[in-house]
Structure 1
Amino acid sequence: MAGNGLAVIHDADGLDDATMLGVARETAQSETTFVQSPTADGADYRNRIFTMDEEIRFAGHPSLGTAVAVARAQGVEQARFLQQTGAGLQPVEVELRGDVAHASMLQEPAQFGEPVEAASVLGALGLGPADAHPELPVQPVSTGMRHLMVPVRDHVALERARPHVARVEAIEAQTDTMVLYLFVPGEDDTVRARGFVAERGQVLEDPATGSAAGPLCAYLHEHTGATETIVAQGLELGRPSRLVTAIVGDHVRVSGDCVVVLDGQLRV
């Protein structure tokens, strides 16, 4: 009952897009994934990822959780998969240890957008110019999905954030980003973060955002030289999560633990 929930639907080749979207709305998780036969050479499976509003090309914790579910379905304790998503092919490694599984993945090479003016972004999050980090810029970054990195000066600002839906929607549209990823660099390798996304006329906060933790690691590497980052997220929601990230060549590795809480059969 911590971290970010995920529903994984196996044997989904026969489901059309409308049905998959309907199932995603029925599960009411931040994302629901559908395991299909791959269409790309070398891939072990195709991972279709849906929010309650739409299919998205890539996501972090749905990639890790889906790989764990596939390994469990195959009855193996260790596995290395090449998953196919809308962002390309990503290697994912899984180790099952009783009730807890550990998964890690290599995300796509980082792509950096131009820094944007901080005041309007902070204003959309209910913060002021004084809350801006004194050295680090607000900047879009993608390692498969484009998110906006928003550094703030301290934990007080992080905890005080109260986003405004219309302004968050406008910032996301202007920067072509999905999540506004607010964070405070720590004195050690740990960074506290909060992820906000405008959906269905409200701003939702994500307990864990693997597709933003990867860009955050790449961002900190670019601006501070850090090669490893532990991202603590979800504390404000009472669903703490821990994502471990590291620079591996041109890529970012993102890893975390997964726990299966429910198995069942879906009839559609």
Structure 2
Amino acid sequence: MELPFVTLDVFTTTRYRGNPLAVVTIPAGSPPLSQDQKQTIAREFNLSETVFVHDVPDPESNKQRVIDIFITDAEIPFAGHPTIGTAVFLRPQGVDTLIAKAGPIALVETASGHVQAEIPHNVRQHAKTLADLPAPGPGQFNVDASIRRLERDAPLFSIVNGMTFALINLPDLDNLAQVSLSGTQIPSEQLLDDGWQTGFLSKYFYVFVNQKTENSKTIFSIRSRMMEASFEDPATGSAACALSCYLTLQQPDLQNQIFRFEIDQGVEMGRESNIAVEVALRDSKIDTVKLSGTATQVMHGHVTV
């Protein structure tokens, strides 16, 4: 059996920047892939994520698609750059909803080639921080004492159950350039609240660059980097959503407002990515989270199963 695939660079209009993504289509009527087969294909692509799209027999009338999102060693409920990349790929078919494990994701085309996705969310700030690790692994924290202190005290924040980030606020871009891979995974089972102790946990470093107000909307410009053990991610939409929700909840006025976050990630590794998130509040709680971006296709072909 041969399955068509494309790769796209996501959160960029320039090939070979942004975050690469593989999208594999499972045609309607094809034999289903096992979990092991999907995991093997994701490992073969060896990208941060691979998406499997379940095609439908009636694409003219059915504008929803079920998707499965895999990293190289597990399936995950949601991730941002796979959502945006898959949405851009499927827009010519008129697809307006993706069904991920985390829930349905409504899509809107905001400009030619740009999409906005309403992200399922179940936000939670966990009681512990990295300072509560009973036995930090070798290289778990930065060698610089000031960065190490900020790492240890950073909040652990989930955008959904299974996707959690240590949100580490650094004072300037020089400090952001100094952060390095730890080579050591963070043991989520030792740090996260009961019922939340599985899934993805990594460090998300960020620096405030600018803040302005336009049309009564507060806009934050941010630079960021995402580090997970021995891997740096060029663009992490789920982390950008988590950070945007966390920062929104820190604002002094939590009445019905919309905050916009324009986040540039991957600059230091030569794969600049431009991510936008809008968070709307209702009655002092997160109401909607909307992730925006674009993607450009790089390769296409077939996977033999």
TM-score range, shorter chain: 0.7 to 0.9
The alpha carbon displacement at 1:190 in A equals 1.0
The alpha carbon displacement at 1:150 in A equals 1.6
Structure richer in strand, relative to its length = 2
1:180 to 203, 207, 211: 203
Q: Give a deviation string over 1:63-95, Cα, whole Å, max 9, x none.
A: 1111222223x2xxxx45221111111112236
Alpha-carbon contact 2:124-2:159 (below 8 Å) kept: no
The alpha carbon displacement at 1:142 in A equals 2.5
Alpha-carbon contact 2:51-2:67 (below 8 Å) kept: yes
Query: Does structure 1 residue 81 correspond to structure 2 residue 96?
Result: yes
Moved over 6 A (4+): 120-123
Cα distance, 1:154–1:124 mapped onto 2, change above 3 Å: farther
- Of the structure 1 ranges 107-116 and 121-130, higher mean CA displacement relative to structure 2 is found in 121-130
Alpha-carbon contact 1:125-1:161 (below 8 Å) kept: no
Quote the residue 2:3 is aligned against. Answer: none
The alpha carbon displacement at 1:174 in A equals 2.4
2:89 to 51, 69, 76: 69
Distance 1:60 1:192 in 2: 17
SS of the residue corresponding to residue 186 of structure 2 reads: helix
The alpha carbon displacement at 1:162 in A equals 1.8
Amino acid of the structure 1 residue aligned with 2:203 = L
- Of the structure 1 ranges 178-187 and 42-51, higher mean CA displacement relative to structure 2 is found in 42-51
SS of the residue corresponding to residue 224 of structure 1 reads: coil
* Unpaired stretches in structure 1, ≥5 consecutive residues: none
Quote the residue 2:4 is aligned against. Answer: none
Amino acid of the structure 2 residue aligned with 1:21 = Q
2:224 to 189, 193, 202: 193
The alpha carbon displacement at 1:244 in A equals 0.6
Query: Does structure 1 residue 251 correspond to structure 2 residue 282?
Result: no
Quote the residue 2:25 is aligned against. Answer: 10
The alpha carbon displacement at 1:119 in A equals 5.5
Distance 2:128 2:74 in 1: 27
Distance 1:85 1:245 in 2: 19
Quote the residue 2:115 is aligned against. Answer: 103
The alpha carbon displacement at 1:153 in A equals 2.0
Task: Indicate the structure whose relative CO is greater, using CA pairs within 8 Å and at least 6 residues apart.
Answer: 2
Distance 1:127 1:233 in 2: 22
Distance 1:130 1:115 in 2: 22
Cα distance, 1:132–1:164 mapped onto 2, change above 3 Å: closer
Quote the residue 1:217 is aligned against. Answer: 244
Cα distance, 1:132–1:165 mapped onto 2, change above 3 Å: closer
Amino acid of the structure 1 residue aligned with 2:264 = A
Distance 1:43 1:146 in 2: 30
Alpha-carbon contact 1:11-1:35 (below 8 Å) kept: yes
The alpha carbon displacement at 1:51 in A equals 1.0
SS of the residue corresponding to residue 301 of structure 2 reads: coil
Structure 2-normalised TM-score?
A: 0.73
SS of the residue corresponding to residue 184 of structure 1 reads: strand
Distance 1:172 1:165 in 2: 18
Structure 1-normalised TM-score?
A: 0.82
Query: Does structure 1 residue 150 correspond to structure 2 residue 162?
Result: no
Distance 1:172 1:182 in 2: 22
Structure richer in helix, relative to its length = 1
Alpha-carbon contact 1:8-1:34 (below 8 Å) kept: yes
Alpha-carbon contact 1:141-1:215 (below 8 Å) kept: yes
Alpha-carbon contact 1:47-1:63 (below 8 Å) kept: no
Cα distance, 1:114–1:265 mapped onto 2, change above 3 Å: closer
Amino acid of the structure 2 residue aligned with 1:15 = L
The alpha carbon displacement at 1:172 in A equals 7.7
* Unpaired stretches in structure 2, ≥5 consecutive residues: 1-15, 57-61, 212-219, 253-257, 282-286
Quote the residue 1:159 is aligned against. Answer: 177
